Amino acid sequence: MTDRSPETETEADAKTAIEGWLLAHTSHPIERIAHDQDIVTGRILDSLRFVDLILLIEELSGRPVDRAGLDMNGLGLDDFRTIDAIWNRFFKTP
């Protein structure tokens, strides 16, 4: 996966790592993803890669994502819709 440490992950580092991963795993010929771009409706992220993205988020953040409670705990598709949304839900400390 990556050699990053969750303790040293900055916002820019995390967003760049997520963008790079998405670019490497999309079937679309794109060179950049805006951090506010909808990666779901834009079909940058497909259902086959969704679990892999969750694993990347866990690795980068150092915290598990509650897969069993995706809809029950207020965790939903909007939390994964953009790179900014991913940062806000899984990395940003309250």
Q: Write out pLDDT tens, residues 31-80.
A: 999 999 999 999 999 888 988 999 999 999 998 887 665 555 567 888 89
The confidence score (pLDDT) of residue 8 equals: 46
On the 0-12 / 13-18 / 19+ scale of CB atoms within 10 A, 84 is middle
Q: 47: part of which helix (H) or strand (E)?
A: helix 47-61
User: What is the gyration radius of the CA atoms in the chain, in angstroms?
Assistant: 12
Query: Which CATH fold topology does 6-90 show?
Result: 1.10.1200
CB 36, CB 66: distance < 8 Å: no
The confidence score (pLDDT) of residue 73 equals: 56
Handedness of CA 67, 89, 58, 28 (dihedral sign): positive
Question: So where are the chain's domains?
Answer: 6-90
- pLDDT score of 19 more than 60: yes
